[in-house]
Chains A and B, each alone.
Chain A
Amino acid sequence: MSVRLQFDGISKLFPAVRALHEVSFSVGAGEIHGLLGENGAGKSTLLRILSGVYRPTAGSVLIDGKPVTLANPVAARAAGVAMIHQELQQVPRLSVAQNMFLGHPLTRGSIFVARREQERRAAEALAAIGPSIDPAAPLSTLKVAQRQMVEIARALLDRARIVAMDEPTSSLTPSEFERLAEVIKGLARDGVAIVYVSHKLDEVFGICRRATIMRDGIVVDSVDLKSLSEKAVVAMMVGRELAQEQHNSHASSQVMLSVRGLASTKVRDVSFDLHRGEVLGIAGLVGSGRTELLRLLAGVDRATTGSIVINGKAIKPASPRDAIAAGIGLVPEERKREGIVPLRSITSNMALASMSVFAPHGIIDHRGLKQIAAEKMKRVNLRPFLLDRPIRLFSGGNQQKAIIGRWLAAGTRILLFDEPTRGIDVGAKAEIYHLIEELAAEGHSVVVVSSELPEVIRLADRVLVMRDGAIAAELGRADLSEQAIAAHAIPQTRTPAAEPARQ
């Protein structure tokens, strides 16, 4: 088997972040190669380099032994690389054929689009991988699995020599996966090199013979999956030194928040209690329903069934306004999109949730507001301490501090953090951790959703592990380890406990 794709010492530096460090491994022609690692291990960055979105800071990509310059996505495509994204990048209103020829349509006399010819060739490519899809149908009428087939057929049309798939099965049913697996194996038989990224270890074990395991931007090892157990692979994925700082619990026995049977389209029958002064961690893979659960509690989305009881009082939040009135505040994951009003000052952003408090007679008491803002921003250690400066000019960490200050100013007792340190540099990270601990010590109740296991372990008094929208396990401080969390978070066919939950 000849080497089709080779990464040779690839490094990628972002400002203040080393995303990849000297990544080297190779994939043979006709090989289906798994790429494994936790969120943030560097898999996505590597795929973006392969598909020409990013350029490596150092190192090179070799295709069929020759170094290639993947300056942009068009160049990558010309070099024979096809990328199949987790979120399919297609235009729903256009037809299947139009999508397959997007960006380089077949033309007659280089003016008119040769629609018939496009559809004929699209149909040929689709037939080669099996599914009966009408190439003239609008893409929006297709199911996700079918859309994925369209993407693969497009790779065939491009005569791709390398196909990279990022979590291709995240929204497929088991039978759809079987079908996809057959198509992937067919591609491999034709000599295509396939890089297969998935969190689902059973799938990777099912269709890949070899896999490369990444962690913190480096390659841990490229391994033969036949000789390893899933457990051993998980250990390699998460097996860094545990960030064990001393942990003080401030949890009391008083229940602040009680959730029973909460459900929505993405959350299944979630029940738990949150105590005064407790930091409750919620772990699980991206897409396991963690964010959705927080959004239900914060009133951003509505639950279909279940109850939320705060301090003995049942609430049914129809909007964040209701949840805030009941004492729940959300520090969202996507700070830019859901957290800050970029053009407004730190003070305005902080006061947004408690405006009526600052305007008891309809007119805002700017003097009082300034005082509270100064007090709260001192408390969260905002830097630089410029309260009237637009928030967009601050670093991510300081924006996050202002959002935390928003809930302090509103007197919120239950704080929900979704990925509290996403996009925040190391120094500010430690500050946010301390802040969360102090909030708990003061008697706030805190929920922390995080993909970074050391973060969860550092902060949480207790951890709920979510999988497929439900709580798969509850781990106390004594049982808390990255391996334990990963074992419950990652669906494994051989875990007996997972079987009933799947049915």
Chain B
Amino acid sequence: MNLNLHLKVWRQASPNAKGSFQDIEARDIPDHASFLEMMDIVNERLIADGKEPVAFDHDCREGICGMCSMVINGRPHGPERATTTCQLHMRKFRNGDTIWIEPFRARAFPVMKDLMVDRSAFDRIMAAGGFVSVRTGAPQDANALPIGKEVADAAMDAAACIGCGACVASCKNASAMLFVSAKIGQLNALPQGQPEKHRRTLGMVRQMDKEGFGNCTNQYECEAACPKDVSRTWIASMNKDFAVASGREALLASARERSEGD
């Protein structure tokens, strides 16, 4: 079955241009098309009419890269739970529906064009500690480092985060704490992450604050919007890790001052 839809699409020519919603009629859309394929069809028609196509981010189209980023009827990645926009299908909509399509909105994610936003703030947070430092050389045998199943499973759940930014987009405060806590938690849970645990936690949280994200108010809109079902409990773990790392840093600083005074 094919659908006729009314789209209200955010159009913004450049980062500093004033944007507005454009009404676009999307006629004859196959219900087995993905949401991004529907956008492709709309764009092909715009191009055929000599108009500017809608700019939107996309890459793998199989739900693992985290590039697709639009907000559909007020929900990042649309109405399906734990589903990215690329894996959302038009059969979830009804003939005649009006669909609002907007970019992720956060001061830390400035709009570049139409539905594309600049998410490099996440890259800078990752660069501030979202890694494990290893010396080069042959990797050791995987079984040389025993890891309990519960820990391995938990770290895997956190590692499911694809860094798409839906948590920021859905949060009433545009907070990035679900993303940051998943990235911190994944490594802090594992033995490989222990040596840099405190430095990582402090570095990533401080970079997050510097980027201008909001603060978590424990409403859990992020968890509901997350295409990978990352749990709110990672935020609790991050809060604890940050308190411990801050206390440790303050103690070490005062100890250093005292030894320098001797």
Do the two chains belong together in a single complex? Answer: no
